[in-house]
Amino acid sequence: MSHVVILGGGICGLAAGMQLAGGGRQVTVLEAQHFLGGLATTLRGRTGAGFDFGPHAYHARNQRVLDMFKAIAHDGFPARPKNVRIKFRGRYYKYPLEAVDIARSMDPLLAARAFLDYLSEVVRRKVFPRKLVSAEDWVTQAMGRTLYGLFFGPYTQKVWGIPPSRLAASFAQHRIPHISLWKVIQTSLRKGHAKISGTEHRYAPLVIELFYPPKGAGLISDRMAERIRAKGGRVETGALVTGVEMRDGRAVAVRFRRVPRTDDGGQLCLMATGVEGNVDPYTVNGRPGPEERIECDELVNTIPLPHFMKLLGEAVSPEARGAADLLRFRALSIVGLRVKRPNALPAQSIYFQDKTFNRLSETRNYGGSELCAPDETVLLCDITCDVGDAVWTADPGDIGRRCARELEEEGFLKADEVAECVVLRTTFGYPVYVVGYEQAIDTLMRELMRLENVVTGGRQGLYKYVDMDIASEMGLSMADHLLSGSTKQEAIATIPYEDRVFA
C-alpha cells in the first residue's frame, strides 16, 4: 500500500490525512507539538478551561467543507450570527468599518479635507496613472491621504509591524474594504438620517453565520485525528520534522526528532518550525534528541513554506532557496484570561487601535458554552509581535495583567476578577505580504511543481492568509489529487493563481 507522510498536524494536514486514510492509503502525520490542530487548537489551562489561538469560529464558502465540519461536530455545532465590532475614534462600530462610520466620526471640516484629497487622487489617477506597488499606494489612490492617515496607515503598522509602504498592493486590495468617499460625504451631510449600508470587501467571505463547537474549536481537529487512527493511520505528536530526503526529484524519506512539549507554566505552547534560527523551543538542555527516519511514497507538506524549502536542502535550486528567504511571518501571542464573571463583552470580538492587543474576543459569545465553568468566561487578546521582542518574551502573568488593566479601563471587567493568565505563541501567525512577495511565490511554485510526489498546501504550506475552511479544502484537494492518480500539472494547471489550492 502506498505510504503518504504528512508534515504538520494542523487542520489542513489532518483533513488531507482523513481523506487519504478513507481512500485506503497508509498515512503518517508528523506534528511537532504535543497537541493537534495547529492554529485551530484548543488548549487547557490550570482548571481545564479552554483557550483557542484567538477564537476560531467555523464558516465556509464551500458546501463540501461545511458539510464535513458539521458531520465531524455532529453532537453540537450551533450557528450564531456574526457580531464583531471595532472601536474607532472613541466609538464602537460594526466591523469592518464602513464608509458611513468613518463619516460619522468626522467633523465637516475634516470630511471636506478628506474629500478634497480624494478628488485630487481621482484627478491624478486619470492624468498621471501610476503603478500601484505598495499597500500605501493602493489605499491613498483609492481613498486619499487623509483617510489613510486617520485609520489605515497607523492600524496596518501596528498589526504588521512594518509601514504599509512595505506591504504589497495586493494585500490592501484583498484585505481592505473599499470605501467610497462619495458615501462618506453624503453621510456626513446627512447626519441622523438612515444608515447607508456598506458591503464587506469583495474578496472577504460574506460571513453572516459562524459555527462553534461548545467544547472549543480544537474538537474538529481532534476528531479528524481519531478518524485517521480508526483507519489504521499514524498520527504522531512531539515529532519535529528535520529533513526531507530526495532522490531523482522524488521524496523518498522524512527525518524527524522526538521533541519535548513547548508548554511551560502560563505559556500553553510555542509553535515553531525548528529552523527559524532565532528560536528553538525543542532542544532539551541545549541538545537535540536523536533523528528517526521514515520512508514515503508521497509527501504532503503543510508546514510553513519557507521552512519547508530549508528542509528540502540541496534538492531545490539556489534561486528557490533565495526566494524562500524573502518570505517572513509575523509572530503572534494570544493572551488568554479566565475571568470570574459569566460574560464580559457586548460582542464576539472587538478590534482596537490603541490597546496592547489588536483584537479582543470572548469565546462564549461564539458558542463556546462548555469551555469553562458557567460563572466564568474566557477572553482572548490577539497581539501581533516579532520573535524576541518585549511581547514575545513577556511573562504570561505580566502581560495578562497589562491586558486586564486595559480591559478595566474600557469597563469590561475589574482587574481583580482575572483568575488565570495564559499565553499561546507561534512564530508563524500571519504570512507578511511584503512588496515583491508574489515573484518569490511564483519562483517557489515553479520549483515545487517539478516535484511530482510532493504537494504543499494550507495556510502555511502555500503562504496564504486563509481561514480554516480554505485550509481544509486545500487538504482535501491534495488528497483528491493523490488518490486520483492524475499528475500535478493535470490537477492544477487550470486553476488560476488566486484560487490555487496546492502546488
Our CB check for ligand FAD shows the closer of 112 and 162 to be 162
Our CB check for ligand FAD shows the closer of 135 and 241 to be 241
Our CB check for ligand FAD shows the closer of 144 and 431 to be 431
As measured in angstroms, the least distance from the Cβ of 35 to ligand FAD is: 8
Handedness of CA 187, 83, 57, 78 (dihedral sign): negative
Torsion of CA 58, 493, 172, 389, to 10 degrees: 70
Our CB check for ligand FAD shows the closer of 321 and 459 to be 459
Q: Residue 450 carries which side chain, given as an amino acid letter? A: R
Q: Cell digits for 72? A: 465531524
Nearest in space to 327 (alpha carbons), one of 240, 441, 231, 233: 441
Our CB check for ligand FAD shows the closer of 104 and 359 to be 359
Residues that bind ligand FAD (CB under 6 A): 7-13, 30-33, 38-40, 53-57, 240-241, 271, 273-274, 302-303, 332, 382, 429, 458-460, 466-469, 471
Our CB check for ligand FAD shows the closer of 136 and 469 to be 469
- Separation in Å, CA 385 to CA 10, 37, 160, 332, 392: 22, 22, 8, 6, 6
As measured in angstroms, the least distance from the Cβ of 225 to ligand FAD is: 11
**What is the Cα Rg of the chain in Å?**
23
Task: State how far the Cα of 390 lies from the Cα of 500, in Å rounded to an integer.
Answer: 37
CB-CB contact of 55 with 349 (8 Å):
yes
Our CB check for ligand FAD shows the closer of 73 and 271 to be 271
As measured in angstroms, the least distance from the Cβ of 448 to ligand FAD is: 16
As measured in angstroms, the least distance from the Cβ of 467 to ligand FAD is: 3
Our CB check for ligand FAD shows the closer of 182 and 203 to be 203
Residue listed under C-alpha cell 464608509: 99
CB-CB contact of 159 with 171 (8 Å):
no
As measured in angstroms, the least distance from the Cβ of 50 to ligand FAD is: 15
If you write DSSP's letter for every residue of 213-240 in order, what string do you get?
A: -TT-THHHHHHHHHHHHHTT-EEESSEE
Report angle CA 318, 320, 322 to the nearest 5 degrees.
Answer: 70
Nearest in space to 238 (alpha carbons), one of 260, 220, 254: 260
Helix (H) or strand (E) holding 253: strand 250-258
Our CB check for ligand FAD shows the closer of 240 and 360 to be 240
| Cα diameter, the chain | 72
Report angle CA 446, 31, 291 to the nearest 5 degrees.
Answer: 90
Q: What does the chain come to in residues?
A: 503
As measured in angstroms, the least distance from the Cβ of 257 to ligand FAD is: 9
Our CB check for ligand FAD shows the closer of 153 and 429 to be 429
As measured in angstroms, the least distance from the Cβ of 368 to ligand FAD is: 12
| Half-sphere exposure in the Cβ direction for 32 (13 Å, CA) | 26
As measured in angstroms, the least distance from the Cβ of 468 to ligand FAD is: 3
Nearest in space to 495 (alpha carbons), one of 485, 483, 481: 481
As measured in angstroms, the least distance from the Cβ of 218 to ligand FAD is: 10
As measured in angstroms, the least distance from the Cβ of 10 to ligand FAD is: 2
Q: Cell digits for 307? A: 521552512
Our CB check for ligand FAD shows the closer of 103 and 240 to be 240
As measured in angstroms, the least distance from the Cβ of 349 to ligand FAD is: 9
Nearest in space to 186 (alpha carbons), one of 87, 119, 108: 108
Task: State how far the Cα of 14 lies from the Cα of 25, in Å rounded to an integer.
Answer: 14
CB-CB contact of 5 with 234 (8 Å):
no
